Structure 1
Amino acid sequence: MTRRLRSLSVLTILVAGAVALIASTQTWLDVTLRGTTNAPLAVAGAAAVPLLAPLSLAALALALALSIVGRILRYVFGGLAIAIGASLAVAAVRILVEQPVDAVAGAVTEATGLAGAETVRALVAEITSTPWPLITVVAAIALAAGGVATVVTAHRWPGAGRRYRTETSDVAAGSRPHDAIDSWDDLSRGDDPTA
């Protein structure tokens, strides 16, 4: 059961981070400019919310690290997952509800060559959102839920296993004679076998 809890928490954070990363490349807002008959300008998620891609990558790295860290770092990483999920949710809800002009200012400036908050506001006739901000809100909530599940269940997760430990057991080393491989292992740990 504890392995299942760990797997579920890690998988939830991983999938939520991946969905948010995919969302950063998709069109979030379509902007129609005054006095033009051109097609609306498409504004990607990463342009509307500049922290979307970095926070999504952080969530992916966090999920991968959760599978091998010790108990204390599980709590820290779970807290980070909650914070990243909350930040992404707030940013995506703002875009979804307000459809702010500052989120499309870069695309408008690039298309028209005109800059400045008031100038861009005067140029924008309409801003419509696509489903991607809502999808990101759902992914952010899932990310935060994975962080909560990590914090709540981290004490029951099994350890990372022997393969990730760097210390050696004195019992295993004393049960057989010291050979050339052991000398190389001593060098890897920083011990001088000739001393």
Structure 2
Amino acid sequence: MIARARLIGVVGFLIAGATGLISSTQTWLLVSLSDGAAEPLAVAGASAVVLLAPLSLTALALGAALSIVGRILRPVFGVIGAVLGIALAILTAPIAIQAPVSAVSAEVAAVTGIRGESAIAELVAGITATTWPAITLVAAVLMAAAGIWVLATARLWPEGGRRYQSERAERRRSGGPLDAIDSWDDLSRGGDPTT
């Protein structure tokens, strides 16, 4: 399990980030207005939660960078990922649970020209949530869990570069044949690879 701990963290961030990014373009809420409009107003995830796309892109970047980052930055990335997931869950949960008028007020104001929370609340006859807020809430929980996982297991991950460095050092100590890369490195440092 520890051998795959890095992979679990990376995949967790990538899935959560991709889900959030896709969700930001989907319809989250359908708003029925009391002005007699035949079609309900569709509100996308990016309108309902303005920070959805930036937080999701940050999670994708964290996942990609986590695959190559060193030992010192791993816990930092874990903390950042956990904070991002918690923030996204806090922003998404009210919409997934009760679909408040505040989540649609910007979109309703843009369509109708009416401003003010109380005026918009009077204009809104009903709000129906799609499954996307719930999906995004699950992705936010996954993002926070991936951050906590990285924070808990990062010190146990194997170092990728040392495996190759120890093989070279062993060949040098044993006097064994060096490959072309080792010879070129010796030449670059001013040594004579022929001796």
TM-score, length-scaled by structure 1? 0.81
Distance in 2 (CA, whole Å) between partners of 1:18 and 1:6 is 18
Q: 1:191 — aligned with what?
A: none
Aligned CA RMSD, in angstroms, stands at 2.4
Q: 2:87 — aligned with what?
A: 87
Distance in 2 (CA, whole Å) between partners of 1:118 and 1:149 is 43
Question: Do 1:18 and 1:56's aligned partners in 2 also have CA atoms closer than 8 Å?
Answer: yes
Distance in 2 (CA, whole Å) between partners of 1:48 and 1:177 is 56
Distance in 1 (CA, whole Å) between partners of 2:8 and 2:185 is 44
Q: 2:99 — aligned with what?
A: 99
Q: Deviations over 1:81-115 (max 9, x none)?
A: 11111111111111122312121111111211222
Task: Provide closer, same or farther for how the CA distance between residues 116 and 176 of structure 1 changes in structure 2, counting only shifts above 3 A.
Answer: closer
Question: Do 2:96 and 2:137's aligned partners in 1 also have CA atoms closer than 8 Å?
Answer: no
Question: Do 1:69 and 1:160's aligned partners in 2 also have CA atoms closer than 8 Å?
Answer: no
Question: Do 2:32 and 2:127's aligned partners in 1 also have CA atoms closer than 8 Å?
Answer: yes
TM-score, length-scaled by structure 2? 0.81
Aligned-pair identity in percent equals 49
Q: 1:66 — aligned with what?
A: 66
Letter in 1 for 2:45: G
Q: Which runs of 5+ in 1 are unaligned?
A: 163-168, 184-195
Distance in 1 (CA, whole Å) between partners of 2:43 and 2:185 is 67
Q: 2:121 — aligned with what?
A: 121
Cα deviation, residue 178, structure 1: 6.9
Q: 1:76 — aligned with what?
A: 76
Question: Do 2:82 and 2:143's aligned partners in 1 also have CA atoms closer than 8 Å?
Answer: yes
Distance in 2 (CA, whole Å) between partners of 1:144 and 1:135 is 14
Task: Provide closer, same or farther for how the CA distance between residues 100 and 174 of structure 1 changes in structure 2, counting only shifts above 3 A.
Answer: closer
Distance in 1 (CA, whole Å) between partners of 2:112 and 2:37 is 14
Distance in 2 (CA, whole Å) between partners of 1:103 and 1:81 is 25
Q: How many residues were matched structurally?
A: 175
Distance in 2 (CA, whole Å) between partners of 1:122 and 1:74 is 49
Asked if 1:131 is matched to 2:131, the reply is yes
Q: Which runs of 5+ in 2 are unaligned?
A: 163-168, 173-177, 190-195
Question: Do 1:85 and 1:144's aligned partners in 2 also have CA atoms closer than 8 Å?
Answer: yes
Cα deviation, residue 174, structure 1: 10
